[in-house]
Amino acid sequence: MSNIDLTNRYKSMNYRRCGKSGLKLPELSLGLWHNFGHVNVHENSKSLIATAFSKGITHFDLANNYGPPPGSAEETFGKILNENFKSYRDEMIISSKAGYTMWDGPYGDWGSKKYLVSSLDQSLKRMKLDYVDIFYHHRPDPETPLEETMAALSLIVQQGKALYVGISNYQADEATKAFKLLKEMGTPCLIHQPKYSMFERWVEDGLLDVLQENGVGCIPFSPLAQGLLTDKYLHGIPADSRVATSGVFLNESNLTSEKLSKIAKLNEVANTRNQKLAHMAIAWLLKDERVTSVLIGASKPEQITDSIKALDNTRFDKEELDKIDNILAG
């Protein structure tokens, strides 16, 4: 920690207002989906948090099931926060979620009030926090009435366990209903977290418009399509890549010749912008003012420092956008 300088932490980051709320988020936020479990090296996890915060990344995004094992990312983050950054708590936005399987039995999954309230109570204990800044319902529940799920989110704010609430992975029509319910309950939705990248653009089919109409922020996850939108795969599959080592969320079947061709062409566009492909992919999301922040992941501190370079140029002219669209449609 001694080599981390926090004195200029707000000078290299831009902040955007989240929808119509009073809250601003950094253009880049750090997601703790990977690299913060008990299986990971604690000192490296600590360096990731320190590096991010020193660069003005104030938002740290977790979920109950992040690890592995599930829950361990919150434990790791809680330990780092309490041992190294406790005095900076009020400068941080800490979020967590519930909605995927967390424990056995009928009460450890989906969107019941029982599950959401219990899960957040567990998350707060793991992180040693009195409250989180944002609490999300992680995915829609096809069986629990939406009224119950939204009422649970509203209750959590009333209890002081979260300052704001959000939803994740909701389609446009589902989000519209959720926003209406929350507004009626006096707990407006702050933010939506969808999967969004050049390779996954479903949010453009109505969701972004719904967010704008309702004054709700947007924070895309997987902006680099699990690493596909980088120069990592331009010359084959590296031995230390996620495709080679994991294969769970990304495997060789994702790397078709058509996909590799698109990656190479997109890289050429990035070169004309004097950017790496990864920088262009992040900048491409931030070109839209409806996007509040982009969630990045990192396994090494230098990856965080590198990602911030994407903020140097988030403007695209029409010719560049048309070229990118043609490549993606090809």
Q: For the segment 179-205, what is each residue's pLDDT rounded down to a tens digit?
A: 999 999 999 999 999 999 999 999 999
Q: What confidence tier does 248 reach under pLDDT thresholds 50, 70, 90?
A: low
The pLDDT score that the predictor gives to residue 256 is 87
What pLDDT digit, counting tens, does each position of 60-110 carry? 999 999 999 999 999 999 999 999 999 999 999 999 999 999 999 999 999
**pLDDT above 80 for 242:** no
Q: What is the pTM of this model?
A: 0.95
Average pLDDT over the chain reads 95
Helix (H, G, I), strand (E, B) or coil at 24: strand
State the pLDDT confidence band at 240, using cuts at 50, 70 and 90: low
CATH superfamily of 15-226+288-300: NADP-dependent oxidoreductase domain (3.20.20.100)
* Among 191, 195, 198, residue whose Cα is nearest residue 217: 191
pLDDT for residue 251 is more than 80: no
Q: 21: phi > 0 → left, psi -120 to 50 → alpha, else beta; which?
A: beta
Q: What is the DSSP letter of 311?
A: G
Site of tokens 């936020």: 29
* Residue ranges of domains in the chain: 15-226+288-300
For the chain, what percent of residues have pLDDT higher than 90?
A: 90
Strand 191-193 with 217-218, pairing: parallel
49 pLDDT more than 60: yes
Q: What is the mean predicted confidence (pLDDT) over 109-115?
A: 98
For the ranges 19-23, 191-195, 235-239, 254-258, the lowest mean pLDDT is seen at 235-239
What stretches of the chain adopt beta strand conformation (E)?
15-17, 24-26, 28-31, 59-61, 93-98, 132-137, 162-168, 191-193, 217-218, 294-296
d(CA 64, CA 43): 22
Question: At a CB cut-off of 8 Å and minimum separation 6, what does 145 contact?
Answer: none
Cβ-count burial 70-91 (b if 16+ within 10 Å, e if not): bbbbbbbbbbbbeeebeeeeee
